[in-house]
Structure 1
Amino acid sequence: MTAPLISLPQATSSNGPFVIAVELSQSDARSTRAHNHARGQLLGATSGLLSVGVGGQQWVVPAIHAAWVPPHCTHSIRSYGPFSGWSVYVAEDTCAMLPAQPCTIRMSSLLREAARRAATWETGDLDARQVHIADVIVDEISVARHEPLGLPLPCDVRLLRITEALVSDLSDNRRLEEWARWAGITPRTLSRRFVAETGFSFAGWRQQARLLRALELLAEGKAVTVVALELGYDNVSAFIDMFRRSLGTTPGRYFEAGAQ
């Protein structure tokens, strides 16, 4: 487990500045065990991507997104490779105007630059200019567009076996009936329980898993063609169509937008 970005008294109290920002780069991966604190936390990667575990879900957070974790919400974090990222901690009473549930958001250029500016401040009370920037950060979090980047896991051990096998090899294109036979469950039960326990159909869950993995690979700089084949798509067009349906744009334009 790596050291916290801010001290325990800062994380567990609303005393001090209502916004505390930190930016950090380290040569090794960053990993924190499940924990919670009184301040809300907005966190993201400066480059690459993070995985945030919260509420029985795993969220992949590329550099163009950020994850919002409300006060007292248990979460864990790990980076893919060396860590370069940032966090904004918001005092609990200020979080009343922010999302009550954890979510992933698309970062605006204004929010990104305001957070980076706040990360340069020295510890202590905020002056009038800093208060203005901190207010901008809170406002930007409150109006940011939510992005569907979560991947809930089922509780049924048979379904969990299937999801674990899928995640280990997302190019596996076996049909629902074949997976049901492999796990010792009827296709009808598999289909019904997948929706009940994850909110996704079996096909929808696999597509979401592939989308998250695609974001990881694309953030690492892999070519769209390589990513499509690695995820089991017969051709690049089918992969791009899936990406566009899910996120409203092509892979290339999606990451270009995040760099703005």
Structure 2
Amino acid sequence: MLSSFANDDDNTLPSPRLSCYKQPMSVAKLPKLTPIEIGWRSDPHLPVIPLAMEVRQAGCAAPHAHPRGQLIYASRGVMRVVSGTEVLVVPPSQAVWVPPDVEHEVYFPGEVSLRNLFLERGVSGRLPDQCTILKVSPLLRELILKAVTIGESYLPESAGYRLMTVLIDELCQAEPTELRLPMGHDERLQRAIEKMVADPGAVETIEALASVACTTPRTLARLFVRETGLTFGAWKKRLILQEAIERLASGQNVTTVAFDLGYQSLSAFIEMFRQSLGASPGQYLKDTPPM
């Protein structure tokens, strides 16, 4: 039986992107947001165009890209950003940077206070050239919230303009964080991932997943590293972290989340969370009401 997998590594077939990873409800049933035209506006006198929105259980009408770079920040609530074969789950302590011309989709499983910053292409070049999750410091948060109160009604050399330049400088210094979840293209890998995503708390061995993927454990382990840059164990831990963040943000208590996600003790779950993200679950999701 194993001989039929001898050349598995040469059998990489392109497949469609995993459909938006996993949503709390069918993506088809989510209300669709009207496309935001600000991202296409070109005006060097407006290096930053802020936009505030209140969103509840909605998503993009379609994958899209625009000439301006976009910082997507939820001052309240959790959002999910899909770009290429990567999924990024983002709590209020972080934001997603989307460079110009990079296709992406955004979904909001609950109530979200959304604060967007659209950056002129020349300014965007100072930030990463790929989708990146950035930590939002207290200062950066306050600058973002102040910027959306100013909107686009500022002139060059005005106080509002100077605040936007300080905001850009602070944004360029924001520390990246690793909560991206790469999906990969290989069909065998995607079959294994779909199994894990369906029940993140299941104790899946790589041997069991290899059977689902119609490959060998050794090949599946190599596919995880080659396609996602993560080992099987590291990918599984990141899936659990993303799932935990969404569940905790929706109001579930830490104990329920820990046991649902396969942990035998609350202390083990909290320690894993702290070691991975630098804070306990309660500290990580701590937030203040938006301005």
TM value normalised by structure 2: 0.83
1:1-260 aligned within 5 A: 1-5=32-36, 7-8=37-38, 11-121=40-150, 123-126=152-155, 128-256=158-286, 258-259=287-288
Q: CA, structure 1 residues 255+27, in 2 after alignment: closer, same or farther (shift >3 Å)?
A: closer
Q: CA deviation at 1:34?
A: 1.2
Gaps of 5+ in 1: none
Q: Say which SS state the counterpart of residue 62 (structure 2) adopts.
A: strand
Counterpart code for 2:217 = P
Q: Say which SS state the counterpart of residue 240 (structure 1) adopts.
A: helix
| Residues 62-71 or 109-118, more deviating | 109-118
Q: Is the 8 A contact 2:56 2:109 kept in 1?
A: no
Q: Deviations over 1:158-207 (max 9, x none)?
A: 21011111111011102111211232211111111111111111111111
Distance 1:82 1:246 in 2: 26
Counterpart code for 1:230 = D
Q: Deviations over 1:220-255 (max 9, x none)?
A: 222111111111111112211211221122212222
Distance 1:202 1:27 in 2: 34
| Residues 122-131 or 161-170, more deviating | 122-131
Distance 2:269 2:42 in 1: 46
Q: CA, structure 1 residues 32+246, in 2 after alignment: closer, same or farther (shift >3 Å)?
A: farther
Q: Is the 8 A contact 1:233 1:239 kept in 2?
A: yes
Q: Deviations over 1:119-141 (max 9, x none)?
A: 12254442521012101210111
Q: CA deviation at 1:25?
A: 0.9
Q: Say which SS state the counterpart of residue 237 (structure 1) adopts.
A: helix
Q: Is the 8 A contact 1:32 1:78 kept in 2?
A: no
Q: Is the 8 A contact 1:67 1:102 kept in 2?
A: yes
Q: Deviations over 1:24-70 (max 9, x none)?
A: 11444243421111111101112211111113101001111100011
Distance 1:92 1:225 in 2: 45
Distance 1:32 1:84 in 2: 19
Q: Post-superposition, which runs of at least 4 consecutive aligned residues in structure 1 deviate over 6 A?
A: none
Distance 1:145 1:105 in 2: 6
Q: Say which SS state the counterpart of residue 88 (structure 1) adopts.
A: strand
Gaps of 5+ in 2: 1-31
| Residues 148-157 or 118-127, more deviating | 118-127
Distance 1:12 1:53 in 2: 23
Distance 2:75 2:123 in 1: 25
Q: Is the 8 A contact 1:42 1:88 kept in 2?
A: yes
Query: RMSD across aligned C-alpha pairs, in angstroms?
Result: 1.9
Counterpart code for 1:21 = P
Counterpart code for 1:74 = E
Distance 1:34 1:28 in 2: 17
